[in-house]
Structure formats: structure tokens, C-alpha cells
Amino acid sequence: ATARVEILQPCVDQYQKWDRAFIDAVLANLGGLLSAPRSQKPALVVWPETSIPRWVARGLAAAEGARWAKALGAPQIVGIIAGPEGGTGPANGVQLVASDGKAAGFYAKRELVPFGEYVPFRGLIPRYVIENWLAVLDQLGDMSAGAADQPLFSTPFGPMAVTICYEAMFPRWSRRDAARGARVLVNVTNDGWYKDTWGPYQHFGANVMRAIETRMTVIRSGNTGISAVIDPYGVVTSRLDLNVRGRLDADVPLGDSFPDRSFYVRHGDWFGTLCLALLALAFLLKALLR
């Protein structure tokens, strides 16, 4: 059995995305994709990274996500920037909005981009040094990273794990989430930064590897692409190419072909560690036998 997933790829211009003059146009773009004709009701709708161009409170559903969740009767996975809360800074996050329009889950990005989303060791630099000589640091990101183990999202496809943007480059996160019960992986991203370079293609390829090594279906939504559904064998079953605005309607299996996941999920990175240990042993033996 399968169910329909709708994946949004709005292709918002990178230089308009955070310009307040374009906020209505950005939201109208998303609304246009969501209001386009559909052949059947979706079971889930996935929006790309930072879809909503303003801060959203973590415990409150983004207004646009809530409106469409209720209109379609389907949960929404919405990329947001969560505002500061409880002494922590803003977070690059993903919100699960239930079909009743209420916030049902939140995920904060764990692997932040150095100098883009945070400045390493910023807290060790005296404030007067920043104000007088390193004022540029105040123009860089100051986000808070999420906890390693965050609640999985409850979806029609089973427990869902999330990675945001380049977190997909780090297999430890998807492996960790699969080991604690995830059955499907969503990656939301905004690769508009890289324009027509190899970057978006390499980034997409990493998601294919995450599907294969965890034996999970990967659902990917990118602002400018590549949006796709990748099955547990690494086969791209549905795809929307780079820089193509549209909505990808894809049928995703509800069942789990690999309930025990993969050897890698069960046993981790011991093979790489073993190779390093054997290499070190070989160097040691060579030195001793001289």
C-alpha cells in the first residue's frame, strides 16, 4: 500500500528570501503550489528549509502551515526559523503541523554550519574586541544547535526523522535516528546558495547514500531542488530537477521493507575504526621489525 506525499519546490530567489519587501510574494508562491489541482488527497506535505521568511515560536504552528494542514486535512512538515526561547538562541528548525492545524512536533538542526549559522568559540571572545575589531561577527549567525536525540515525528509512514540541509552529509545522524526507531527520513534544504554548480547535485547524492546505508525511504524537499523520493535501495522513484518550480506528487510505500534496518544501522562505524586500528598496527609492527 502507498500514500501520497506532496513535496514543495518554490524556487524562491536567494536574494529575495529574507527581504521583507518580498514576504508576501514568497508566501503567495507557496500558496500557489499548494492550491494547484491534485488528483488525490495527500497524506503528508513537505515544505523546504526555512520556508516561512520570519521567526516562528517553537510551540505554535506557523500560520501558513496550520491553514493548509486544516484545508487539506493532512499534516505538514514545515521548515522554519524558530525564535529564541528559554535562554537559547534562534534555531534552524522543522515543525510538524498536525491536520488539525496544531503544532505536533519540532526538530532543531543539530549540525550547524560554522560561520553561517554560528561562530566557533564566539563566547570566548570579549565583547569589546568584537565591538572594536571584529564587528563582522555580529553579522554572522548565532543559532542554537538541537539535542542529539530529539523526538521523532509521528506520521502516516511511521516514525520520521529529520535532517536539515548539510546534515545529510553526516551519516551518523541518520544512522542514530534509524537505530532509535525511525522508519522514514526527511531532508529539507535550501541549495539556492550554490546556483548552477555541482553543489546541489553532490548534496543530493549524499541523500541517496543515506537511504542505502540505513535502508530507509528518504523524502527530500529543496527550495530550488533537487526534490525527490529515494527508496531504501537508493533508487530515485520521483524527482523534480534543479531550478524547476513545482510540486512533486509522489506515492510512498506505507510498509517497511527493512524492519531490522541495515548492518550499518545495527553495528555502526566499527569497520572504519577497525581499518584505522589495523593500519596503526601495521605501522607499529613495521617500526618494531626494523
Phi, psi of 240 (to 5 degrees): -120, 120
Catalytic member of 6, 11, 64, 165: 165
Distinct helix (H) and strand (E) counts, the chain: 7, 13
Question: Does residue 11 have an active-site annotation?
Answer: no
CA distance 260 to 150: 21
The helix/strand/coil state of 284 is: helix
Catalytic member of 6, 11, 49, 213: 49
First to last CA, the chain: 64
Asked if residue 219 lies in contact with residue 46, where contact means CB atoms within 8 angstroms, the answer is yes
Question: Does residue 17 have an active-site annotation?
Answer: no
Catalytic member of 64, 109, 167, 213: 109
Sign of CA dihedral 204, 247, 91, 102: negative
Asked if residue 152 lies in contact with residue 160, where contact means CB atoms within 8 angstroms, the answer is yes
Sign of CA dihedral 152, 109, 208, 34: positive
Question: Does residue 64 have an active-site annotation?
Answer: no
Q: Which helix (H) or strand (E) holds 206?
A: helix 199-214
**Which positions are annotated as active-site residues?**
49, 109, 165
